[in-house]
Amino acid sequence: MEPTAQKFQETTSVAPWRQMNATQDDALAPAIEAACAQACEAIAPAWPLDRAIAVNPHWGRIGRPVREVAARMAVLGGIRVFPAREYLQQAWDSGRVSEADLAAALRTLPAAHASRLQVADCVAALRASMPAHQLPLLIDVLDDDPARDTRLSWRQAITHQVSQTCAAYFDEHQADWQPQGETGLYAFWHETLTHDHGIGLLMGLPHLGRALHALPASRQDAEQWVLRRLGLPTEVWADYLESVLLTVNGWASWCAYLGWQAELGGGSDTHLRELLAIRLAWGAILLECKDDDSAHRAFANLQDEWRHADERLKQAEQDLLVDEVWQLALELGYQRELASKLHAVGGARPVASGEGIEVQAAFCIDVRSEPLRRALEAAWPAIQTLGFAGFFGLPVAYTPLATPARRPQLPGLLAPAIEVQDLVRPAGPTGRDETADAALARRQRFAWAQQWAASHRWPSAAYSFVEAAGLGYLGKLGAWLKPSTRERERGDQSGLPAHYRPVCRPMLMGLDVGARVNLARGVLHAMGLDQGLAPLVLLVGHGSQSANNAHAAALDCGACCGQTGEVNARALAQLLNDPAVRTGLAAQGLEIPALTVFVAALHNTTTDEIEGYDLDLLPVPARERWARLQTVFAQAGDQVRRERAPLLGLDPAMGHAALYEQLRRRANDGAQTRPEWGLAGNAAFLIAPRWRSQGAVLGGRSFLHDYEAAQDTDGSVLELLMTAPMLVTHWINWQYHASTCDPLRLGSGNKVLHNVVGGTIGVFEGNGGDLRIGLSEQSLHDGQRWVHEPLRLTVVIDAPRAAIERVIGKHAVVRQLLDNSWLHLWRYEGEQLLRYVPGGWQEIEM
């Protein structure tokens, strides 16, 4: 070793965190802990593929104004929060944003008004390049080799190495060998790196192994090393650490999910802190690879840059003011159209509740329900549709028959409190319970399937598998080459013998009659169905249909932890049809008419057809009524398919059967990257009676939740809606927004290049880099233009001012979303719409 390098090692790299005395250690420990905790709290969770939930990736930052967060993301991670200026230029050139919209945004935004920005200034900014704001990290300033342009940057290589390590450590489903996880993530990475002889070559450091003696022994040592040694001001520690985490934001989000789940269960999780320590420890290693002069230059450069971090953040915030103006102008154009449509409906209040209504259909609030609800109402005036959160108020976890799985069926904000399990229950009397027989048969089939799968996973079998499989494999290949028109498969019944499938039913477990009555009463009240019930009440969940799609769960119900609404709808229908529950409800003054029957159903959002469940349990009049509904379903479904056809590249003028067949084939096509558009285009959330929007063509862009303030005298339902469904729709809205505004860092990239990680954890784009989160390009862009418009959600509530303001005052998270401009809030006052601003309400410009 060169003398200078040896000297540097002795003074800086050999346990540098030990160089301070005990008094200094004790004094800094609380500040170090606080900085690490603050950085970790900024990372939003990302749910696994099989439980996909849309999440606002900035959820941990909503306590700050959105423009301040945009500045922080630009400075700390090079991440864009507002729409790209190229996108905004196209919106301006096409007339999507008018001069009137821009002028209104300048009047509405206090900071723009104070800065005396003009329309001309905003237009000119679109042609100017965005100034560079990002601050460097230690690994960046150390990476000063003249040959660095001929290899991966150290930042890229480290992200790749850490990502591959995390993929191996967290995999529980995909690999045949899993590491021993009890040692912890940091210890596993420490051990892995000492045996990784390729990473040094990728980084242009063939002798990297010699520097590994500088590795901090534990995560606590790694955290202390960087914060004690770098000489950065204490006030920027948390920002620096957040910047470090953003280099592996995908895996940080996965670790945040593990922490989120642990907290829901009353525990804690350290994986995110260990990931942070891993990234910090790389600085200690790379410092060993530099001589004295390079290291001192790097320290001086880093300290100089971060000494001015506050100035950099303020400048970025000022530079982004024009982008915030454009964001608002884009939204004002949409809001003007929305207000016009809602005003056009007018005060067309319905006749007395329930009069002339034969069927009520409660749909999920999902934007894809809006066109079908509108079509059903147009097809048959005797049907009344309602909107309610897709988990139907049941806080359940579901365990499919003969499996160890326990799957949440509710929003990720909540923890399951009730269990649902499959039981075999024929419609008529039976001699014995056949659940055990069905479970045994299914386990046997699972065992055979596992043996079959294992037979072609080993290298020696790879070339012989197709020949051994013979015609069976050719049949599967043929289904790929020519997609069928088969109906949606129900994965929960995979492997179950056919004769058990119709009578295998998800049922609530462990609740006595009193608990079941209270649950039913709460759900009916929240849905507004504690009076005026029709003879037939449909509980319509929804699910998607696609093939070969790693993100298939993201197209199912986000309110049900990425599952379809089938389990919740079926369990609730059985609960509300239970004679004992109805007797208990009647004793409490809630009378369900004897003729009223609840039916579980599912809306297939890919093909727009409705499927019913447990129809064999219905009395004859209800089955006859269901049969008559099929014509209405067919007419409404055809109308919606024609509305959707142009966006899917299909001819809306083709015959009914031909269009339906096309959508069925898309659903079964393993090469189809866009079986449907999901929630692309989402922009508004109406919490109001249906008559406020009935007849308005909202274009599948609005979440619709029915709400009658007159029936909510204590405001408890409104509070629930503003603290649960409103937050869920905000998460959905911002996942789409973020994935569109920065598809490279907050989207998952090209779906064609996805490789699944860990069976269910997430995806890589290609074979490396960070874990990708957010939506794929194909879910947002049709190859020529963005289908999703990055608009913040506009929430419209029909409730008294005092009731709304009471919720805002009581819940800090709601107040933060509003006061920091993460969403817009309107309310009705008679027929007038008013906009919420901190401290009051303003009339909406039309």
Taking the C-alpha atoms of residue 14 and residue 17, their distance in angstroms, rounded to an integer, is: 9
| Residue 292 pLDDT level (bands cut at 50, 70, 90) | confident
DSSP state, 53? -
Q: Are 700 and 370 in contact (CB under 8 A)?
A: yes
Per-residue model confidence (pLDDT) at position 349: 65
**Mean pLDDT within 297-308:** 95
Q: Determine which of 411-420, 472-481, 630-639, 821-830 has the lowest per-residue pLDDT on average.
A: 472-481
| Residue 227 pLDDT level (bands cut at 50, 70, 90) | confident
Per-residue model confidence (pLDDT) at position 474: 60
Tell me the residue ranges of DSSP E strands in 211-358. Answer: none
Mean pLDDT, the chain, as a whole number? Answer: 91
Per-residue model confidence (pLDDT) at position 428: 80
Q: Is the pLDDT of residue 607 over 90?
A: yes
| Residue 447 pLDDT level (bands cut at 50, 70, 90) | confident
**Mean pLDDT within 169-176:** 79
Q: Are 439 and 427 in contact (CB under 8 A)?
A: no
Per-residue model confidence (pLDDT) at position 178: 62
Per-residue model confidence (pLDDT) at position 561: 82
Q: Is the pLDDT of residue 453 over 70?
A: no
Per-residue model confidence (pLDDT) at position 822: 98
**Mean pLDDT within 69-98:** 97
Residue 538's DSSP bridge partners are 361, 599
Taking residue 605's Cβ as centre, other Cβ atoms within 10 Å add up to 30
Q: Determine which of 3-7, 640-644, 781-785 has the lowest per-residue pLDDT on average.
A: 3-7
Q: Exposure string (b/e) for 421-440, b if CB count within 10 Å is 16 or more?
A: bbbbbeeeeeeeebbeebbe
Q: Residue 667, SS3?
A: helix
Q: Exposure string (b/e) for 720-757, b if CB count within 10 Å is 16 or more?
A: bbbebbbbbbbbbbbbbbbbbbbbebbbbbebeebeeb
pTM for this entry: 0.94
Q: Are 140 and 155 in contact (CB under 8 A)?
A: yes
Residue 192: both structure tokens together: 């892995």
Q: Is the pLDDT of residue 87 over 90?
A: yes
| Of 812 and 2, the one with more pLDDT | 812
Pairing of strands 794-797, 762-765: unpaired
> Which amino acid is present at 748?
S
Per-residue model confidence (pLDDT) at position 1: 39
Residue 421's DSSP bridge partners are 399, 507
DSSP state, 365? S
Taking the C-alpha atoms of residue 719 and residue 727, their distance in angstroms, rounded to an integer, is: 12
Q: Can you spell out the DSSP letters for 537-604? A: EEEEEEE---SS-TTGGGGSBGGGTTB-SHHHHHHHHHHHH-HHHHHHHHHTT-PPPTT-EEEEEEEE
For the segment 683-707, what is each residue's pLDDT rounded down to a tens digit? Answer: 999 999 999 999 999 999 999 999 9
- The dihedral over CA atoms of 351, 352, 354, 355, expressed in degrees to the nearest 10, equals -70
The residue whose two tokens read 């046997």 is 444
Per-residue model confidence (pLDDT) at position 182: 63
Per-residue model confidence (pLDDT) at position 11: 38
| Of 150 and 663, the one with more pLDDT | 663
Per-residue model confidence (pLDDT) at position 15: 36
**Mean pLDDT within 642-658:** 96
**Mean pLDDT within 545-573:** 91
Q: What are phi and psi of 843, to 5 degrees?
A: -70, 140
Taking the C-alpha atoms of residue 412 and residue 705, their distance in angstroms, rounded to an integer, is: 19
Pairing of strands 702-705, 536-543: unpaired
Taking the C-alpha atoms of residue 418 and residue 713, their distance in angstroms, rounded to an integer, is: 28
> Which amino acid is present at 227?
L
Q: Are 490 and 209 in contact (CB under 8 A)?
A: no
Q: How far is CA 188 from CA 156, 183, 630, in A?
A: 21, 6, 58
Taking the C-alpha atoms of residue 415 and residue 396, their distance in angstroms, rounded to an integer, is: 8
Per cent of the chain over pLDDT 70 is: 91
Per-residue model confidence (pLDDT) at position 806: 98
Taking residue 341's Cβ as centre, other Cβ atoms within 10 Å add up to 17
Per-residue model confidence (pLDDT) at position 18: 37
For the segment 267-279, what is each residue's pLDDT rounded down to a tens digit? Answer: 999 999 999 999 9
**Mean pLDDT within 38-58:** 96
| Residue 149 pLDDT level (bands cut at 50, 70, 90) | confident
Q: Is the pLDDT of residue 794 over 60?
A: yes
Q: Is the pLDDT of residue 807 over 90?
A: yes
Q: Determine which of 397-411, 436-450, 476-490, 658-672 has the lowest per-residue pLDDT on average.
A: 476-490
| Residue 180 pLDDT level (bands cut at 50, 70, 90) | low
Taking residue 294's Cβ as centre, other Cβ atoms within 10 Å add up to 16
Q: What angle do CA 212, 213, 215 make, to 5 degrees?
A: 70
Residue closest to 608 by CA, chosen among 564, 542, 548, 668: 542
Q: Exposure string (b/e) for 209-219, b if CB count within 10 Å is 16 or more?
A: eebeebbbebb
Per-residue model confidence (pLDDT) at position 450: 66
Q: What are phi and psi of 844, to 5 degrees?
A: -80, 130
Q: Determine which of 193-197, 327-331, 605-609, 712-716 has the lowest per-residue pLDDT on average.
A: 193-197
Per-residue model confidence (pLDDT) at position 28: 85
The residue whose two tokens read 């399951």 is 416
For the segment 332-382, what is each residue's pLDDT rounded down to a tens digit? Answer: 999 999 999 999 997 656 544 567 899 999 999 999 999 999 999 999 999
Q: Is the dihedral of CA 480, 486, 491, 493 positive or negative?
A: negative
Tell me the residue ranges of DSSP E strands in 461-565. Answer: 504-509, 536-543
| Residue 173 pLDDT level (bands cut at 50, 70, 90) | confident
**Mean pLDDT within 785-810:** 98
| Residue 179 pLDDT level (bands cut at 50, 70, 90) | low
Taking the C-alpha atoms of residue 732 and residue 701, their distance in angstroms, rounded to an integer, is: 12
Taking residue 311's Cβ as centre, other Cβ atoms within 10 Å add up to 9
Residue 174: both structure tokens together: 């995909």
Q: Determine which of 117-131, 522-536, 545-559 has the lowest per-residue pLDDT on average.
A: 545-559
Per-residue model confidence (pLDDT) at position 392: 93
> Which amino acid is present at 467?
E
Q: Is the dihedral of CA 353, 725, 791, 783 positive or negative?
A: negative
Q: Is the pLDDT of residue 10 over 60?
A: no
Q: Is the pLDDT of residue 482 over 90?
A: no
Alpha helices by DSSP H, 2-95: 3-8, 22-41, 66-77, 85-93
Q: Is the pLDDT of residue 736 over 50?
A: yes
Q: Is the pLDDT of residue 463 over 50?
A: no
> Which amino acid is present at 474?
L
Q: Determine which of 414-423, 457-466, 592-601, 804-813 has the lowest per-residue pLDDT on average.
A: 457-466
**Mean pLDDT within 123-140:** 93
**Mean pLDDT within 810-817:** 98
**Mean pLDDT within 428-438:** 84
Q: How far is CA 237 from CA 75, 240, 314, 532, in A?
A: 14, 5, 17, 60
**Mean pLDDT within 204-217:** 89
Per-residue model confidence (pLDDT) at position 390: 85
| Residue 839 pLDDT level (bands cut at 50, 70, 90) | confident
Per cent of the chain over pLDDT 90 is: 78
Taking the C-alpha atoms of residue 249 and residue 254, their distance in angstroms, rounded to an integer, is: 9
Tell me the residue ranges of DSSP E strands in 617-750. Answer: 684-687, 702-705
Q: How far is CA 560 from CA 66, 372, 396, 397, 563, in A?
A: 28, 20, 9, 10, 5
